[in-house]
């Protein structure tokens, strides 16, 4: 018998006045949020990209045209469509456009290597991919091994004003005549289609194909791969609408049609998808899209657009404040700074307080929960060394890791378990993993935490040994599998150790093969061939053996402790 939610919920008394304990969740598809915003605020800006403003009426029309273009390509309800894009208008248009067709969005990091891309595209079985021109070669290299029938290619320049070419340092050769738009260099390969071709004008209003929000998937979001390769978390329309409703209810001072969100977080991650792609649309807010993080560029966007909401990670906030051009007045427009993905340290909290910044709250979530689970109260009640209290309609308990049916008392450490309308439907093509993660609606998060008597939750460690590098999840097992392919590696273990700028850095402890000399530089080049840059170990530390327990399992905590004590410079270059 799993824990019952029919019990005292102490956290409710800490909700900011006006936050409801229960939220009404409409039975609608995600696209209805966009349709409602376009009806209520047709002329308000929805997206701001390098100076170009796209109003809600224009965004809905672009979404409808893209949906009609997908129809011409033969996309049917339930088909998976891969989005391999950075933060740009095309990502937003494609996301809502494919949902309009009843298809399922599968988002990927455009910086993935061929191996990473191959696994996810093969696993989800996407028929169509929408890809940035700079990432096309990666998709082209794996296309013969996956089910892709069409590849839609676009460029950041496709939605730039002609006068903004220098903002992204576009070569002059990419310019056409002064009054013409810059477009992507689309390869002349079979099945390759320009994004603009799918934006062809249509006279008809493209309606939403029927969906059952509680049953039909809106997205498959790949997790960091805690126990090997990343798994696809299946999120229904209801999951995403519910989490948007929960976050909307949490911000009682929200201003429909007037808030501006700074979209620095990658939209292809669950945190960015909800906080910068779905939740703002629910309140008809504007999103300032930045394709990549650069502290100088972020500061310029803050000064120009005066955002009111800034979702981010602690290291991102620190880098903005550390920028030589930073001024305390840069933070004055912000009402809410939603910090997630990694622990918020006391130093960052203190800096915000000294600068007089408002609305910094540490929150907690995971891909399998769409992602938000807990948040610190707004309005002055934040305890930011915790991750706050459960959101409305969310129940959280701490259970014994060995006996998960036993709920622990306040102050005891155990596994954090969650139940709520935002909890996912399971893992794609992984029934066993689904059964291990879900039971009677409860989600085992794999995180060790404790809850105090007031209901505030503190995350103590990642039970699954995930490493957080600048907010990105890195699976030790994935890195270890790549390392073991190299003939110099007899055995290895990968851990994360604290890093002031990135939260954690990846450290590989390597037992070398007796017949092959150890070279950190060679191992680094090997990893760079198969892994994204943030997954490549920052350090390679030679060892004669690895610490193991009585069962032969590597004791990662001992390696983490050694790594923290050794400092950042051991065996960095071999």
The DSSP 8-state label assigned to residue 277 in this structure reads I
pLDDT for 174 beyond 60: no
Structure tokens at 495: 């851990």
Q: What does the mean pLDDT of the chain come to?
A: 90
- Mean of pLDDT values over 7-29: 92
Mean pLDDT of 88-101: 98
Residue 204 has pLDDT above 80, yes or no: no
| DSSP-assigned letters across all residues of 25-84 | -----THHHHHHHHHH-TTSEEEEETTEEEEHHHHHHHHHHHHHHHHHTT--TT-EEEEE
pLDDT tens for each residue of 34-77: 999 999 999 999 999 999 999 999 999 999 999 999 999 999 99
- The sign of the dihedral angle between the CA atoms of 204, 105, 532, 344 is positive
pLDDT over 90 percentage in the chain: 76
Do residues 507 and 563 lie in contact, with contact meaning Cβ atoms separated by under 8 Å?
Answer: yes
Compute the distance between CA of residue 573 and CA of residue 489 in angstroms, rounded to an integer. 17
Alpha-helical regions (H) of 289-370: 295-305, 314-322, 346-354
In a domain, 14, yes or no: no
Collect all residues with Cβ–Cβ distance below 8 Å to 160 and sequence separation of at least 6: 49, 50, 52, 167, 168, 170, 181, 182
Residue 488 belongs to some domain of the structure: yes
pLDDT at 463: 67
Angle, helix 89-100 to helix 31-40, in steps of 10 degrees: 110
**Beta strands in 112-174, from DSSP E residues, in sequence order:** 128-132, 150-154
Q: Is residue 404 part of a domain?
A: no
Q: Model confidence at 9, in pLDDT bands (50, 70, 90)?
A: confident
- For the chain, the maximum distance between any two Cα atoms, rounded to a whole number of angstroms, is 72
Rounded Cα–Cα distance for residues 533 and 506 (Å)? 11
Report the pLDDT value the prediction gives residue 273, as an integer from 0 to 100. 97
| Residue tagged 């977080």 (tokens) | 265
Among candidate residues 535, 519, 233, 190, the one with its CA nearest the CA of residue 368: 233
Expressed as residue numbers, the domain containing 81 is 30-45+52-210
Length of the chain: 574
Look at residue 523 and tell me if it is in a domain.
yes
Which domain CATH number covers 114?
Answer: 3.40.50.12780
Q: pLDDT value at position 477? A: 82
- Predicted pLDDT at 552: 62
Structure tokens at 483: 């390392």
With cut-offs at 50, 70 and 90, classify the pLDDT of residue 176: very low
- Which tens digit of pLDDT belongs to each residue from 415-451? 999 999 999 999 999 999 999 999 999 999 999 899 9
Instruction: Write down the pTM of the prediction.
Output: 0.86
Q: Which residue did the predictor score with more confidence, 231 or 567?
A: 231
- C-alpha 185, offset from chain centre: 28
- Domain stop point among 210, 228, 244: 210
DSSP conformational letter for 181? P
Provide Rg for the chain, Cα atoms.
Answer: 23
Position with higher pLDDT, 190 vs 384: 384
Domain boundary among 210, 236, 255: 210
Domain count, the chain: 2
Residue 8 lies in a domain: no
Note whether residue 190 is domain-resident. Answer: yes
Q: Where are the alpha helices (DSSP H) in 41-192?
A: 56-72, 89-100, 114-124, 136-142
**Contact between 536 and 478 (Cβ < 8 Å):** no
pLDDT band, very low/low/confident/very high, at 573 (cuts 50, 70, 90):
very low
Out of 114-118, 399-403, 526-530, least confident range: 399-403
Inside any domain, residue 510: yes
Structure-token match 């399998």, residue found: 368
The SS3 call for residue 218 is: strand
Pairing of β 80-84 and β 104-107? parallel
CATH of residue 545's domain is: 3.30.300.30
Whether residue 178 has pLDDT greater than 70: no
DSSP 431-455: HHHHHHHEETTEEEEEEEEEE-TT-
Query: Does 483 map to a domain?
Result: yes
- Kindly indicate the confidence band of residue 500, based on its pLDDT and cuts at 50, 70 and 90: confident
End of a domain among 210, 244, 278? 210
Cα 209 versus chain centre, distance: 27
Q: Model confidence over 316-358: pLDDT tens digits?
A: 999 999 999 999 999 999 999 999 988 898 999 999 999 999 9
């Amino acid at each position: 018998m799993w824990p019952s939610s029919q019990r005292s919920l102490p956290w409710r008394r800490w909700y900011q006045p006006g936050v409801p304990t229960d939220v009404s969740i409409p039975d609608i598809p995600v696209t209805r949020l966009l349709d409602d915003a376009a009806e209520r605020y047709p002329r308000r800006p929805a997206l701001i990209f390098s100076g170009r403003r796209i109003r809600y009426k224009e965004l809905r029309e672009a979404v409808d045209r893209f949906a009609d273009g997908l129809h011409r390509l033969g996309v049917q309800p339930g088909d998976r469509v891969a989005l391999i894009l950075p933060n740009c208008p095309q990502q937003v248009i494609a996301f809502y456009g494919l949902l309009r067709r009843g298809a399922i969005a599968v988002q990927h990091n455009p910086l993935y290597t061929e191996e990473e891309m191959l696994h996810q595209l093969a696993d989800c079985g996407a028929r169509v991919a929408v890809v940035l021109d700079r990432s096309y070669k990666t998709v082209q290299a794996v296309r013969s091994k996956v089910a892709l029938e069409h590849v839609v290619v676009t460029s950041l320049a496709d939605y730039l004003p002609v006068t903004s070419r220098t903002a992204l340092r576009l070569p002059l050769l990419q310019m056409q005549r002064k009054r013409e738009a810059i477009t992507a260099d689309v390869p002349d390969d079979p099945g390759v289609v320009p994004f603009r071709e799918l934006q062809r004008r249509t006279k008809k209003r493209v309606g939403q194909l029927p969906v059952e929000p509680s049953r039909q998937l809106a997205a498959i979001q790949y997790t960091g791969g805690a126990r090997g390769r990343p798994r696809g978390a299946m999120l229904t329309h209801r999951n995403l609408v519910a989490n948007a409703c929960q976050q909307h209810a949490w911000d009682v001072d929200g201003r429909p049609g007037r808030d501006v969100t700074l979209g620095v977080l990658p939209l292809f991650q669950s945190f960015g998808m909800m906080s910068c792609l779905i939740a703002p649309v629910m309140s008809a807010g504007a999103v300032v899209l930045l394709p990549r993080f650069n502290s100088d560029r972020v500061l310029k966007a803050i000064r120009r657009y005066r955002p009111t909401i800034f979702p981010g990670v602690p290291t991102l906030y620190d880098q903005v404040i550390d920028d030589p051009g930073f001024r305390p007045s840069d933070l004055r427009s912000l009402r809410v700074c939603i910090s997630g993905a990694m622990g918020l340290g006391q130093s960052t909290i203190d800096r915000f307080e000294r600068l007089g910044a408002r609305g910094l709250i540490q929150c907690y979530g995971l891909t399998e929960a769409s992602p938000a689970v807990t948040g610190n109260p707004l309005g002055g009640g934040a305890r930011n060394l915790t991750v706050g209290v459960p959101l409305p309609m969310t129940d959280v308990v701490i259970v014994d890791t060995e006996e998960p049916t036993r709920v622990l008392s306040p102050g005891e450490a155990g596994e954090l378990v969650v139940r709520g309308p935002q909890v996912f439907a399971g893992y794609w093509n992984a029934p066993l993993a689904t059964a291990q993660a879900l039971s009677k609606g409860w989600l085992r998060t794999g995180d060790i935490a404790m809850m105090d008597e007031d209901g505030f939750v503190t995350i103590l460690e990642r039970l699954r040994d995930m490493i957080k590098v600048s907010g990105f999840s890195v699976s030790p097992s994935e890195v270890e599998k790549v390392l073991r392919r190299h003939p110099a590696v007899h055995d290895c273990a990968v851990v994360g150790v604290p890093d002031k700028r990135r939260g954690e850095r990846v450290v590989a402890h390597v037992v070398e093969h007796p017949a092959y000399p150890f070279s950190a530089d060679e191992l680094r080049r090997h990893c760079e061939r198969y892994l994204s840059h943030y997954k490549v170990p920052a350090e390679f530390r030679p060892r004669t053996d690895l610490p193991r327990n009585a069962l032969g399992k590597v004791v990662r905590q001992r390696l983490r402790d050694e790594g923290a004590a050794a400092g950042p410079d051991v065996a960095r270059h071999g």
